[in-house]
Amino acid sequence: MSEKKKFGIKDIAKLANVSIATVDRVLNNRKDVSDVTREKIQKIIKENNYRPNMYARSLSVKNNLSIAVLIPRTSQQTGYWELCLTGINKGIDEFSSFGINIDVFLYDQEDVSTFNKAADTVFETKFNAVVVAPIFIEETRCFVDRCKQNGLQTIFINSDIPNSSSLGYVGPDLYSTGRLAGNLTSYLVQDESKLLILNVGKGLQNYKYLNTKIEGYTKYLENLGRNFDIVLRDIHHNDYNDVSRELSNLVEEIVPDLIFVTNSRVSVVGQFFHERPDFVKPHIIGFDFLPSNVDYLAKGVVDFLICQRPDKQGYLAIEYLYNYFLLKEKPADIKSMPIDILTIENYLFYEN
């Protein structure tokens, strides 16, 4: 209903006494325009604050961008990747009407061969870009090189292999994430408390991933000079019963004032203390907005959940590629994701 007649290419052409083709040439700064007309047109463009109509532009160039997504399959032990996929799917819904088509390839994060197989499959179709979550460092490096040879842009999510992907990284800053956990810890416990850092999970391929967090955590707390007694332990199991058994031994031995679970498996620790009121419950900090984790946050068993928005990572990656390819925007460096703190009082409003 607004009376503003949209100022378009035709109007520019009329003002400059040239054809729309010439205007288009200077807009997309191509050849075949004399300097004098080019400058005349550019002046008109600036003066009238011309904004191209993206609908028309995108309709005209038959841009069907196609993107491959290569991430781990959701296992029953961790719903983490399901969240990530949720974000990807949201991106698919939103962008498929805009000429983007997205194919998702899943691999088993405990089996390298499935990654390689999925990687091969990617090359069977001609994609423009691939979003990949690097679990197997070396294999991913190979894959990225192969993409580069085939003119495929790459972008990482969730964890980074620095200077490897062609378009960058969307995900959390792991070291800072660890420091934040340390920060929250410092509010929860008194000086000289006993702190237990706990790695839970069968796999061990992403140790570097966890270690960065742990380093941030311990460095932060050591610098406080509050004489905490920090212990680091692994529980190499996924199943609750196995974890429970080891945990009961651990807790009996260490008697921690606080447990920092370094990944998204914090719910099993929560479950343990919820089912075993015979143990005095320590404070608990963990990661990720999984339903099971939120459950124990809501029950008051887990104090803080630190979240890195895996769903948003996926969505942002897609959105970034959309901007990069279709709107031809400058590669505006991808920032790290926000690191969110969830408590029993604000989790309800955490957006998906």
Residue 67, phi-psi category: left (phi > 0), alpha (psi -120 to 50), beta (remainder):
beta
Instruction: Output the smallest distance, CB 222 to a second copy, in A.
Output: 15
- The whole-angstrom separation of Cα 35 and Cα 110 is 61
CB 107 within 8 A of CB 72: yes
The H-or-E segment that residue 248 falls in is helix 240-254
Count of beta carbons in the 10 Å neighbourhood of residue 343: 13
- The answer to whether residue 25 forms part of the interface with DNA (CB under 7 A) is yes
CB 83 within 8 A of CB 291: no
Q: Which residue lies nearer to DNA by CB, 101 or 244?
A: 101
Tokens of 17: 């006494």
337 binds, among DNA, a second copy, none (CB under 5 to 8 A by kind): a second copy
Segment 61 to 80, residues that bind DNA, using CB under 7 A:
61-62
Instruction: Spell out the residues 6+ positions from residue 277 whose beta carbon is closer than 8 angstroms to its own.
Output: none
CB 221 within 8 A of CB 182: yes
Phi, psi of 101 (to 5 degrees): -125, 135
Of positions 2, 29, 49, 60, contacts DNA by CB under 7 A: 60
24 binds, among DNA, a second copy, none (CB under 5 to 8 A by kind): DNA
Instruction: Spell out the residues 6+ positions from residue 344 whose beta carbon is closer than 8 angstroms to its own.
Output: 297, 298, 300
- The answer to whether residue 42 forms part of the interface with DNA (CB under 7 A) is no
The H-or-E segment that residue 106 falls in is strand 100-107
Q: Which stretch binds DNA (CB under 7 A): 46-54, 65-73, 205-213, 217-225?
A: 46-54
Q: Which residue lies nearer to DNA by CB, 21 or 298?
A: 21
107 binds, among DNA, a second copy, none (CB under 5 to 8 A by kind): none
* Nearest-10 Cα torsion for 91, 92, 95, 99: 150
188 binds, among DNA, a second copy, none (CB under 5 to 8 A by kind): a second copy
- The answer to whether residue 327 forms part of the interface with DNA (CB under 7 A) is no
330 binds, among a second copy, DNA, none (CB under 5 to 8 A by kind): none
Q: Which residues bind a second copy (CB under 8 A)?
A: 1-4, 6, 51-56, 58-59, 64-66, 96-99, 101, 125-128, 172-173, 176, 179-180, 182-184, 187-188, 220, 303, 335-341, 343-346, 348-351
Q: Which residue lies nearer to a second copy by CB, 140 or 293?
A: 293
Phi, psi of 69 (to 5 degrees): -120, 130
Instruction: Output the smallest distance, CB 10 to DNA, in A.
Output: 6
Q: Please state at what angle helix 137-149 crosses helix 112-122, rounded to 10 degrees.
A: 10
Instruction: Output the smallest distance, CB 11 to DNA, in A.
Output: 8
Of positions 1, 4, 33, 247, contacts DNA by CB under 7 A: 33
CB 106 within 8 A of CB 267: no
Of positions 59, 255, 280, 327, contacts DNA by CB under 7 A: 59
- The answer to whether residue 22 forms part of the interface with DNA (CB under 7 A) is yes
The H-or-E segment that residue 341 falls in is strand 340-342
Q: Which stretch binds DNA (CB under 7 A): 47-55, 216-224, 255-263, 296-304?
A: 47-55
- The answer to whether residue 9 forms part of the interface with DNA (CB under 7 A) is yes
340 binds, among a second copy, DNA, none (CB under 5 to 8 A by kind): a second copy
DSSP state of 334: P
Q: Which residue lies nearer to a second copy by CB, 128 or 293?
A: 128
Cα–Cα distances (Å) from 246 to 242, 279, 323, in that order, read 6, 14, 49
Burial-class residue 301 by CB neighbours within 10 Å (0-12, 13-18, 19+): buried
Q: Which residue lies nearer to DNA by CB, 32 or 351?
A: 32
Of positions 3, 4, 29, 32, contacts DNA by CB under 7 A: 32
Instruction: Output the smallest distance, CB 255 to a second copy, in A.
Output: 21
